[in-house]
Structure 1
Amino acid sequence: MTPVQAWEALRGDPRAVLVDVRTRAEWAYVGLPDLRPLDKDLVTIEWQTFPEGRVNADFARQLEEAGVGRDQPVYFLCRSGVRSVAAAQLATQAGWTRSHNVLDGFEGPHDAEQHRTVSGWKVAGLPWVQG
């Protein structure tokens, strides 16, 4: 689903959760979705560890430890919508029954000048914070 559709789903369902699967460096330097207008907390779990780039073998366990119920609607977000697909697939295989990928992620794909200005959470004008 698109970032705007994910925002609407988060707003419409008090049990819905947004999980940002980017790295700690991305959260710190690029920014984070701001769910305060929805009175929700963002769940942050790295899909790939920073700086090594290894897939996080503890991802499902950390999702469970974060209190995300296996029957809750869960929306996974990364930078451009690639890592979040893998995270949603793993969550589904691990028993989360309502896993969704947020298309184009937080920043979206590159434009012709190699800038991330085409689509994504930030380009859609959804709330976010930095640093």
Structure 2
Amino acid sequence: MIPFHRLALPALVALTLAMGPQLASAESAFAVEHPVVAADLSKSKQTAPGLYITAADAGRVLADHPNVALIDVRTPSETMLIGHPTLAAANIPSKFVDPELAFDPKKGVYKMVDNPDFVAEAKAWLASDAASNVDTLLIMCRSGSRSAAAIDKLVKAGVDVTLYNVVDGFEGDKNEAGVRAVNGWRNAGLPWTYKVRDGFWPGQK
């Protein structure tokens, strides 16, 4: 017999996504200094679970909760050239940049494409010894939108862990000058590095 929660999950996810910005963020299991409310977030940063955390609070949570892991879903190039949190457990990219596909002159960016192995790589990491005591993931990207989309993919795939979106990501939001200097992991003064350790991207071929 299929458990009730497996049957109910798709309907719950659909209802949550439909209500979107009307929902406040779900009750956090952590004591945080900067609570995040869903209604204050752009739609691109909202997730089905409705659990959110700032990068500044994520640093404190990781230090105090061994059952929590930080997953960086940016591209491997970003983690090497821009840097990544030293506390990140793994880099599991949700998307890649492919300049051969298309260039958006209006936005001034190359098109990003989905990593077709993202969910499989996340599940494999969760099943590994490295995640043996982990039941909660903090998902981080550049500034909170890719991580939100990654979380919803994991929810849809039935990944059974608690999922928080780090809403300001590694680089943070842009200021009036277009510089990512407002918030985020790096601007919070948390430890980070350019050096990529062996096995950081477990799906590397």
* Both proteins in one fold, TM over 0.5: yes
Among 70, 77, 93, the residue aligned to 1:46: 93
Q: How does 1:1-131 map to 2 (within 5 A)?
A: 1-35=53-87, 42-51=89-98, 53-66=112-125, 67=128, 68=131, 72-94=135-157, 95-131=159-195
Distance 1:59 1:119 in 2: 27
1:101 is paired with a residue whose SS is strand
Distance 1:91 1:11 in 2: 25
Higher relative contact order (CA 8 A, sep 6+): 1
Shift of 1:76: 0.3
The alignment covers a number of residue pairs equal to 125
Q: Structure 2: state its 5+ residue gaps.
A: 1-52, 100-111, 196-205
What amino acid maps onto 1:96 in structure 2? Answer: D
What amino acid maps onto 1:50 in structure 2? Answer: V
TM-score scaled by structure 1? 0.86
CA-to-aligned-CA distance 1:63-98 (integer Å, 9 cap, x gap): 1222347x7100100001100011112222222330
TM-score scaled by structure 2? 0.57
Distance 1:108 1:96 in 2: 28
2:97 is paired with a residue whose SS is coil
Normalized per residue, which structure has more strand? 2
Q: Structure 1: state its 5+ residue gaps.
A: 36-40
What amino acid maps onto 1:58 in structure 2? Answer: D
Larger Rg: 2
Distance 1:9 1:27 in 2: 21
1:4 is paired with a residue whose SS is helix
